[in-house]
């Protein structure tokens, strides 16, 4: 017995249902590449770097592109105007999430991750709680955590400059775990970092489009794990155990510490202290949901962004030199930049903006779904259509951002060096869209600013020297995945001066 007969029937039924309703209103579907019978554009859909294929289709078919993936309607949006027409002007229709059976139902990610929740009252409740902990007004209370881990990063780079990638990955995880749970992770192999990182690896693999047939044919979720061909069920069981560890183990640290009266300040501790005895069970669930969402939204993307920063500095020494000159003039050699300096560092701020535009680490936004049949721009959008914001195309638009392949922070500055207000802010796309925009964006922005400012002030990042005595040419090669990050590249991380070394060593007193 196999799953193939049921699969064949499911394909035929799905395609028949779709074909019977896609023109119900007498309106055309959006334009897009012509597909094959039954499977539609399934063979056109690339396994990796999908946003690049979509970008080509935008140039050919326009800002709204339609695909049929074996009966599943997909619409890809390639401009801020198209994204606004769906996600802002019709947010009541396009704020839902598609059903992701492998990730959310079998692996269990959808039980806690707010970003995966279907649009409705449960999502509103958890989103409101998340916003309370991460809106712009509360971010300053996390500044000491940002400073502690940024300073630790500087000391680690001083002693192990060849481990840049690992230090950046660890710092991003450590900031989230400290903020959320008060767990101060020092070592890279800390068990709580390992738990969270393994869980996120499972999330990425189980969420990869096209990897599991059960996402296209949900009835397969009922296939028993012992059946031949049901390897996906066995993987799901393993990954679900990782999810449970991620949700429960850091939380238990806080809960046990509170019982002993020795709890470190954290979001989880604050939320537990505010709860009444009759709300404990619900509050514990909410805390785990906020924690899971925090780690998922913040750790991988922040680490990838700082890796993009290191790549940009190695590729564009003139940008690095200009930023360091600004820091030297405003901050001076006797201290490190902090958040009070930020308004006086326009070029450093422009680098932070350009980081999110140049190589957006989430080039395709988390999918939205149409909750009902609709019409946008004269096109029919069937209920259940997956809507993808192609952040890559929006932030690589050569009209809004001339020379989009170049890392040019000055594009965000006026002629007299101030931040310009007439250049599109990359946040229109970099953090998602509409009602589902990332509520942790202010947290991310502040932590990235501090890392960028302090690393620039203390270190120079440059390409290695080749056998011919010239710097090795570094290119912007990227690794595929749900989060875009640079492929490994060699670089030299070197303190700028003896004074910088002394200043870095003095940060050990800040704990």
For the annotated binding site for heme, the residues are 438
3-state SS, residue 29 = coil
| Number of other residues whose CB lies within 10 A of the CB of residue 112 | 24
What residues contact 17, with CB distance under 8 A and at least 6 apart?
71
Strand (E) or helix (H) holding 293: helix 280-315
DSSP 441: H
d(CA 99, CA 252): 30
Of residues 392, 322, 383, the one with CA closest to residue 50: 392
Q: CB–CB of 98/76 below 8 Å? A: no
Q: CB–CB of 395/433 below 8 Å? A: no
Helix axis angle for 143-159 and 164-181, nearest 10°, is 160
d(CA 253, CA 275): 18
d(CA 472, CA 481): 27
Of residues 358, 362, 361, 346, the one with CA closest to residue 453: 346
CA atoms within 13 A on the CB side of 229: 13
Q: How far is CA 349 from the centre of its chain?
A: 20
Q: Which residues are annotated as a binding site?
A: 438
Sign of dihedral through CA atoms 23, 26, 32, 37?
Answer: positive
With b for 16 or more beta-carbon neighbours within 10 A and e for fewer, the 406-428 pattern comes to ebbbebbbeeeeeeeeebeebeb
| Number of other residues whose CB lies within 10 A of the CB of residue 304 | 24
Of residues 129, 352, 117, 102, the one with CA closest to residue 236: 102
Q: CB–CB of 64/37 below 8 Å? A: no
Strand partners, 386: 74, 369
What residues contact 243, with CB distance under 8 A and at least 6 apart?
107, 108, 109, 111, 112, 199, 202
């Amino acid at each position: 017995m196999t799953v193939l007969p049921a699969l064949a029937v499911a394909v035929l039924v799905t395609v028949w249902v779709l074909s019977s309703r896609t023109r119900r209103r007498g309106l055309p579907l959006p334009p897009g590449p012509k597909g094959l019978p039954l499977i539609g554009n399934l063979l056109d859909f690339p396994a990796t770097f999908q946003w690049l294929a979509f970008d080509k289709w935008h140039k050919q078919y326009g800002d709204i592109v339609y695909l049929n993936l074996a009966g599943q309607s997909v619409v890809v949006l390639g401009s801020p105007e198209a994204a606004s027409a769906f996600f802002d002007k019709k947010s009541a229709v396009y704020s839902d999430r598609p059903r992701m059976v492998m990730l959310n139902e079998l692996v269990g990610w959808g039980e806690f991750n707010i970003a995966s929740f279907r649009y409705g009252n449960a999502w509103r409740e958890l989103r409101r709680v998340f916003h309370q902990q991460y809106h712009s007004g509360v971010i300053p209370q996390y500044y000491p955590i940002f400073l502690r881990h940024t300073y630790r990063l500087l000391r680690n780079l001083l002693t192990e400059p060849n481990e840049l990638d690992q230090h950046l990955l660890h710092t991003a995880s450590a900031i989230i775990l400290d903020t959320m749970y008060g767990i101060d992770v020092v070592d890279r192999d800390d068990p709580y970092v390992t738990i969270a990182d393994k869980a996120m690896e499972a999330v990425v693999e189980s969420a990869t489009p096209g990897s599991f047939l059960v996402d296209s044919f949900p009835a397969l979720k009922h296939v028993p794990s012992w059946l031949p061909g049901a390897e996906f069920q066995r993987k799901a069981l393993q990954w679900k155990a990782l999810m449970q560890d991620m949700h429960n183990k850091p939380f238990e640290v806080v809960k046990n510490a509170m019982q002993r009266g020795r709890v470190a300040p954290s979001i989880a501790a604050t939320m537990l202290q505010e709860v009444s005895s009759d709300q404990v069970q619900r509050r514990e669930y909410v805390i785990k949901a906020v924690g899971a969402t925090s780690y998922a939204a913040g750790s991988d993307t922040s680490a990838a962004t700082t890796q993009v920063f290191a790549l940009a500095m190695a590729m564009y020494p003139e940008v690095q030199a200009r930023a360091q000159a600004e820091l030297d003039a405003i901050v001076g050699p006797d201290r490190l930049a902090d958040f009070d300096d930020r308004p006086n560092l326009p070029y450093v701020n422009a680098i932070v903006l350009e980081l999110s535009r140049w190589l957006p680490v989430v080039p395709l936004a988390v999918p939205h779904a149409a909750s009902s049949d609709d019409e946008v721009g004269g096109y029919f959008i069937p209920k259940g259509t997956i809507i993808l914001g192609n952040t890559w195309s929006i932030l690589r638009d050569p009209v809004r951002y001339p020379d989009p392949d170049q890392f040019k922070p000055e594009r965000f500055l006026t002629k007299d060096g101030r931040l310009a207000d007439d250049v599109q802010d990359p946040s229109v796309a970099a953090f998602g869209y509409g009602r589902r925009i990332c509520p942790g964006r202010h947290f991310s922005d502040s932590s990235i600013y501090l890392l960028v400012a302090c690393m620039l002030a203390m270190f120079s990042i440059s390409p290695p020297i080749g056998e011919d005595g010239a710097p090795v040419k570094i290119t912007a090669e990227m690794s595929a995945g749900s989060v875009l990050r640079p492929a490994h590249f060699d670089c030299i991380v070197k303190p700028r001066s003896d004074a910088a070394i002394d200043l870095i060593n003095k940060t050990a007193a800040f704990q």
